């Protein structure tokens, strides 16, 4: 809705923080505790991909003690994108107005979530950004910083989106935004999943705001980043970029 040329946003509604897990037994308790302390009114959904290390069982124990914690047990390891899509579907079916993406390993600091939610009062999607002024990363080697910065820059240029941290995974969506992204068409995983949602939001005219965050490298457990995720992101982003440029060229020819 617009008033005087400016969009008027409605209230946020209930908040659901979705935390996908696979072998995060060392991290799930501390991250849920930090979320509950940082935004006490928020609910948490642990979307566990049948972790062999018992993460799902630990999450069940947390849920039994706290009615703001819920667990979505999935059949097996199907990737980050599939876990988030399942979490989004669960959250929207349960009537949540805001759905938040957050890693289980502590790299996304729950203490910064209130700032994302405040920004969401005037936006459709808020991204926790490492690559805007005030954003930073802690304990990352230069090679990892180069990969992340380079991936975001390549994505931004190829896809023509005005977003500095296109690959970041700390995000707060209004449910109406997710409903308008065509989630049924999303099949990408990993970093590529995050790029896909960001480009869909930008290209469909949603108001996207980036809030600086401090990204902290995990201290416990193993990173899920691997070569396959990087390769998938590269070829998908390139294909999307070629399609975007082709549509722009055809549009100019018909004007």
Q: Kindly state the tokens that stand for 123.
A: 């936006």
Instruction: Give Cα separations from 107 to 50, 97, 162, 220 (angstroms).
Output: 22, 24, 24, 11
Q: Which of 209, 198, 202, 184 is nearest to 233 (CA)?
A: 198
Q: Which backbone phi and psi does 78 adopt, to 5 degrees?
A: -120, 0
- Which pLDDT belongs to residue 254? 45
The mean pLDDT of 5-28, rounded to a whole number, is 92
Query: pLDDT for 63-96, tens place per residue?
Result: 999 999 999 999 998 889 999 999 999 999 999 9
The H or E element that residue 46 is part of is strand 43-48
Q: Which of 195, 212, 19, 200 is nearest to 128 (CA)?
A: 212
List, in sequence order, every residue forming a beta bridge with 16; answer none if it has no partner. 43, 99
Q: Kindly state the tokens that stand for 112.
A: 């910064």
pLDDT, mean over the chain: 88
**Residue 189 banded pLDDT, cuts 50, 70, 90:** confident
Q: How far apart are CA 152 and CA 9, in angstroms?
A: 29
**CATH number for region 11-253:** 3.90.550.10
Domain coordinates in residue numbering, the chain: 11-253
Whether residue 140 contacts residue 219, with contact meaning beta carbons closer than 8 Å, is answered with no
- Which pLDDT belongs to residue 156? 77
Query: pLDDT for 140-151, tens place per residue?
Result: 777 777 777 777
The mean pLDDT of 43-51, rounded to a whole number, is 98
* Residue, of 206 and 140, whose pLDDT is higher: 206
- Which pLDDT belongs to residue 4? 35
Q: Which of 3-17, 113-127, 155-169 has the lowest mean pLDDT?
A: 3-17
């Amino acid at each position: 809705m617009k008033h005087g040329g400016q969009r008027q946003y409605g209230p946020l509604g209930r908040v659901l923080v979705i935390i996908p897990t696979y072998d995060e037994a060392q991290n799930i308790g501390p991250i849920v505790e930090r979320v509950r302390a940082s935004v006490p009114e928020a609910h948490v959904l642990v979307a566990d991909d049948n972790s062999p290390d018992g993460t799902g069982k630990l999450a069940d124990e947390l849920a039994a003690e706290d009615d703001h914690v819920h667990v979505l047990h999935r059949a097996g390891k199907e990737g980050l994108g599939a876990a988030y899509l399942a979490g989004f579907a669960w959250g929207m079916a349960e009537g949540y107005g805001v759905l938040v993406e957050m890693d289980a390993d502590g790299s996304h600091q729950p203490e910064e979530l209130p700032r994302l939610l405040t920004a969401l009062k005037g936006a459709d999607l808020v991204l926790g950004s490492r690559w805007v002024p005030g954003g930073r990363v802690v304990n990352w080697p230069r090679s990892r910083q180069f990969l992340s910065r380079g991936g975001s820059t390549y994505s931004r240029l190829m896809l023509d989106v005005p977003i500095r941290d296109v690959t970041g995974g700390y995000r707060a969506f209004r449910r109406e935004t997710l409903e308008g992204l065509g989630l049924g068409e999303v099949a990408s995983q990993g970093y590529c999943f995050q790029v896909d949602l960001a480009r869909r939001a930008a290209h469909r005219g949603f108001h996207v705001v980036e809030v600086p965050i401090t990204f902290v490298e995990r201290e416990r457990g193993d990173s899920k980043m691997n070569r396959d995720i990087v390769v998938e992101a590269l070829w998908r982003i390139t294909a999307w970029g070629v399609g975007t440029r082709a549509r722009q060229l055809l549009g100019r020819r018909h004007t």
